[in-house]
Amino acid sequence: MSQSFYQCPELNPLDIPYILEKIFDHLSVYNLKKCRLICTSWCFEATPFLLKRCKISFKSVHQFTQLLSLTNLPQFCNTFDISNEVDLESIPVVNFFTKFCTGIKSLDLSYHSEYSTTWAEAVFSKLTSLEELCLNGKASFLTEQSTLLGDNPEIFSKLKFLFIYDSSYDLESRHHQRIWMENIFQILLAPQETLERLFFAPFLEQRARTFFNLITSEALIHPRVTYLHINHLSVTPPEVKILSGKHFPLKYVHLVLTNSLESHDLNGFLAKLKDTLRELTLTFTDGVTAAQFHPIQPLDNLTKLSLIGYEGPLMTSTARNLELFVMSLPDEEDQLPLCTCSVKGLKLNQGLNDLEIYDSKGKYVPATLTMIYSHFYALRSLKMNNIDNSILRLVFIHLSNLMELRVCFHKFYGVSSLPIDSGLCGIPEFRLEEEVLDAIDDKDIDHLRTHPWIGGMKRLKILELELGHITDFGIILGITRCPTIGRLILKNCDCIYYETAHGFMTDLSLHAICDSMCLTYLKIEGYKDCFTEGCLENVIEKMGGIETYIL
């Protein structure tokens, strides 16, 4: 008797949509576009992720005219922002919204304030699929009496995210204030069943308090709001009690702490949110010390904690699930004993993955950083806004397992423009001479390295430097000799080419990056004029299919 064997066909994990979704969620726009070319199935699965990441920024009316000739634009992009150079009431702009209205899901008008109720009625009434909206709080239609919102209940009914940037310092009269409140109330009233994220950024505390009173009024019920951020709202005990009573399932909240608030008020509020809260930002106003709120608890379920504008002992209890800690640092050395991260008071997760440090005065205390880096020895990602040679050396000494290093431009604290060539290559400043750039390999210059350098970072995969000053020495003798880097971003934030005794970045740097590094992504922004046209063409050709941007 013959025996039949039934063998199950082999299953490729990449054929499972759920697994593809997890993969696509981490890919760049460039790689998502390439994935769409693999097969019909991958094209179908990757397209929604591509749409989330694609955004068209309009800077002229002419761009609207060009896109009007398309018939299927929403299939490729449904997110748009419009700069203040664009006349919103021009015919091409109105025609654009009329043609593609049903496919627009995200719209940023936060740079605009001069558009009328007539325009708002003509446009907003058609945006029936809108899920994300960024408005300027001084927009004309918000201070004009109108039936737009009252007579059109479907407007904004699908909003999930509402951002209002309030560029006005004050309204002209009580009459305008009342109308503004009524219009904002109507906007908040429409998406009661869908709204998830609220962000209000006013200049005045009075406006912040007005907005708070609106969202916590009994007439509004937003059972899905998980994200609440209101700038300049100094919370008091009654407001904390009101906010607790709304029963928002908050995953993120921003609180501005004042002297009128007691520790038990804050901790009571956090206790009520302990099952849902995952991200917390606390801003300390002038005169408020960290010790007033010590210890802050419970924080056991937090994954992100941001403590802004304070100087004092760490005032948290245990936060062992923390993944990202955002902090500011004291600037004077004599404040070190009261430093945020005194070892005695530090109870954060030592296995922390991500750390962000922002310094408003551009001068870190080395002893403080040493203490922090030594405690968080297992860091995988570090982001800072100000560095110099000595700061880089501390990173290389204490964070040898670092996989991502980002030096960023912070909108409030700025970014350092100090030279960092010596910090990257480990060679003293006085030994950085043109002949050194001609060294054949590391053996020729190893004897010159007297400091820790980036080549000792054996796991570094992502390097992002937003700064103002970097030359051939830092790139050729430092960055290009770190073989593990796969993603490199260099951005000139000062838009100035600093010419020193060492010169500045030249074609030599670009050729070294291209010939010596195994990159998967390269972006150099703000330095394009440092390179010759022939060099740029040659490098783009050599990089081939690698995602490359030189702007």
pLDDT in tens, 501-545: 445 788 999 999 999 999 999 999 888 888 999 999 998 888 887
Give the residue-averaged pLDDT of 460-486. 90
Query: Cα torsion at 239, 244, 247, 252 (round to 10°)?
Result: 80
> Where is average pLDDT lowest: 191-195, 245-249, 285-289?
285-289
| Half-sphere exposure of residue 331: CA atoms within 13 angstroms, side-chain side | 10
Q: If DSSP codes are grouped into helix, strand and coil, which group holds residue 208? A: helix
Domain range annotation of the chain: 16-54, 399-551
**Would the CA dihedral through 63, 69, 70, 71 be positive or negative?**
positive
> 283, 301 in Cβ contact below 8 A?
no
149 band by pLDDT with thresholds 50, 70 and 90: low
Q: Residue 178: phi, psi to the nearest 5? A: -65, -45
End-to-end alpha carbon distance in the chain: 74
pLDDT (0 to 100) of residue 134: 92
293 within 8 A of 271, measured Cβ to Cβ: no
Q: How many CB atoms lie within 10 A of CB 170?
A: 11
Exposure on the CB side of residue 306, measured as CA atoms within 13 A:
16
Give the C-alpha separation, 221 to 371, whole Å.
46
Distance in angstroms (rounded) separating the CA atoms of residues 82 and 66: 15
Strand ranges (DSSP E) for 1-48? none
Torsion over CA: 59, 61, 65, 70 (sign): positive
pLDDT tens-digit readout, 47-79 = 878 777 788 888 889 989 988 888 878 777 888
Mean pLDDT of 459-469: 87
State the Cα–Cα distance between residues 345 and 370, nearest whole angstrom: 16
CA 456 to the chain's CA centroid: 28
- pLDDT of 215-244, one tens digit each? 998 888 889 999 999 988 888 888 888 888
Residue recorded with tokens 């982001």 = 383
117-130 pLDDT, tens digit each: 888 888 888 888 89
H or E element in which residue 370 lies: helix 366-375
Residues 426, 452: contact at Cβ < 8 Å?
yes
Pairing of strands 381-384, 132-136: unpaired
For the cut 70, the answer to whether the pLDDT of residue 489 exceeds it is yes
Phi, psi (degrees; rounded to nearest 5) at 251: -100, -25
pLDDT of residue 502: 47
* pLDDT of 487 higher than 50: yes
Higher-scoring residue by pLDDT: 174, 336: 174
Do the Cβ atoms of 505 and 530 come closer than 8 Å? yes
501 vs 170: CA distance, rounded Å: 50
Q: What angle do CA 93, 59, 73 make, to 5 degrees?
A: 55
| SS3 sequence of 117-180 | HHHHHHHHCCCCCCCEEEEECCCHHHHCCCCHHHHCCCCCCCCCEEEEECCCCCCCCHHHHHHH
- Give the Cβ contact number of residue 513 at 10 Å: 22
pLDDT recorded at residue 169:
58
For residues 152 and 122, the answer to whether their CB atoms sit within 8 Å is no
CA distance 226 to 277: 9
17 pLDDT higher than 50: yes
Residue 547 pairs in a beta bridge with: 521
Half-sphere exposure of 6 (CA within 13 A, CB side): 0
Task: Answer yes or no: are the C-beta atoms of 483 and 513 closer than 8 Å.
Answer: no
Q: Which of 546, 392, 366, 386 is nearest to 474 (CA)?
A: 392
> 479 vs 111, which has greater pLDDT?
479
How far is residue 161 from each of residues 157, 172, 187, 224, measured CA to CA in Å?
11, 28, 12, 11
Residue-wise pLDDT for 352-399, tens only, equals 889 988 876 556 778 778 888 887 888 999 998 878 888 899 999 999
414 exposure class (CB count in 10 Å sphere: 0-12, 13-18, 19+): middle
pLDDT at 336 (0 to 100): 37
Residue (of 234, 410, 237) closest to 326 by Cα position: 410
